[in-house]
């Protein structure tokens, strides 16, 4: 079975022009089939502030009202996505920028209101792996922003980590799939104040202990949930670390296993 890598980049890379350009050069140089997923929350927050639109957060998650959805669509699907695609073309990677609405690739529904109303936040129902596979067979590299749709004309803000996991799961029907979460740290840290305290390997039992001890907490919890969700549903390999892990220039990153 052919191999594919799905790589998700975090906001600290997307929001740093020089760091992003260096990452995209390395990404372009990677051999084989690949998919890139990005967010852009920091840039969206900056633009909202400039336009006088209040940013509402609840437990680290953005409340997406109508005005915020406009900002997210402009930043994620427009400025950020097309900037990334343009740089990839410059580096010789024939990329195509996509939201979940494009070619009906990621279908979702508006998150149900329970204790909190997250507004136009989307939870994924289905990823159209055949269409994505078709784009790859045409020699294109898909670049997904963090937007899905509900098939009724409504765009939805969807967590980029979740998009990366669900795209990876869907592509595992056709490829041997590896998922890489690239963010600002060298991996999952045992001590947040010690950048060298990378935990190299985490399985589910180890994860539960780290969670119980408070070593893994807060924003890392949903990321880890996505990692194990991917592994349980056909993805071969999941890694967390900084951008150096994609070009094999470091051995310091975290690998997750069941």
Helix %, strand %, coil % of the chain (to 5): 40, 25, 35
pLDDT of residue 41: 83
In the predicted model, what is the mean pLDDT of the chain? 94
Count the neighbouring beta carbons within 10 Å of the beta carbon of residue 195.
14
φ and ψ at 118, to 5 degrees? -85, 5
**Residue 7, H or E segment:** strand 3-9
Per the CB < 8 A criterion, the answer to whether 233 and 167 are in contact is: no
Q: Determine the average pLDDT of the residues in 221-239.
A: 95
φ and ψ at 28, to 5 degrees? -65, -35
Per the CB < 8 A criterion, the answer to whether 241 and 182 are in contact is: yes
Nearest by Cα to 127 from 71, 166, 92: 166
Hey, what domains does the chain have and what are their CATH numbers?
Answer: 3-256 (3.40.1160.10)
Percent of the chain with pLDDT over 70: 99
- pLDDT over 70 (residue 229): yes
Distance CA 133, CA 135 (A): 5
pLDDT digits (tens, 9 = 90+) for 96-115: 999 999 999 999 999 999 88
pLDDT of residue 58: 75
Count the neighbouring beta carbons within 10 Å of the beta carbon of residue 94.
12
pLDDT digits (tens, 9 = 90+) for 12-47: 899 999 999 999 999 999 999 999 999 888 888 888
- pLDDT over 70 (residue 80): yes
pLDDT of residue 248: 72
Distance CA 117, CA 121 (A): 9
pLDDT digits (tens, 9 = 90+) for 129-186: 999 999 999 999 999 999 999 999 999 999 999 999 999 999 999 999 999 999 989 9
pLDDT of residue 59: 65
pTM strictly above 0.85: yes
């Amino acid at each position: 079975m052919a191999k594919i890598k799905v790589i998700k980049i975090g906001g600290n890379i997307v929001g740093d022009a020089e760091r992003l350009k260096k990452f995209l050069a390395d990404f372009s140089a990677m051999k084989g089939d690949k998919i890139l997923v990005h967010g852009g929350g920091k840039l969206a927050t900056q633009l909202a502030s400039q336009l006088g639109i209040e940013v509402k957060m609840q437990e680290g998650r953005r409340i997406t009202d109508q005005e915020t959805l406009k900002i997210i669509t402009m930043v994620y699907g427009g400025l950020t996505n097309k900037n990334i695609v343009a740089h990839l073309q410059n580096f010789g990677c024939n990329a195509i920028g996509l939201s979940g609405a494009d070619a009906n690739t990621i279908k979702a529904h508006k998150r149900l209101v329970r204790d909190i109303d997250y507004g136009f936040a989307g939870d994924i129902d289905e990823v159209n792996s055949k269409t994505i596979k078709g784009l790859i067979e045409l020699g294109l590299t898909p670049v997904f922003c963090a937007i899905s749709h509900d098939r009724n004309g409504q765009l939805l803000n969807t967590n980029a980590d979740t998009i990366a996991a669900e795209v990876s799961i869907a592509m595992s029907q056709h490829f041997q799939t590896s998922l890489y979460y690239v963010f600002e740290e060298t991996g999952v840290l045992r001590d947040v104040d010690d950048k060298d305290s990378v935990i190299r390997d985490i399985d589910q039992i180890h994860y539960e202990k780290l969670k119980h001890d408070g070593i893994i907490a807060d924003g890392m919890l949903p990321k880890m949930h996505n990692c194990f969700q991917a592994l349980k549903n056909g993805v071969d390999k999941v890694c967390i670390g900084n951008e150096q892990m994609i070009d094999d220039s470091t051995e310091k990153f975290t690998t997750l296993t069941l």
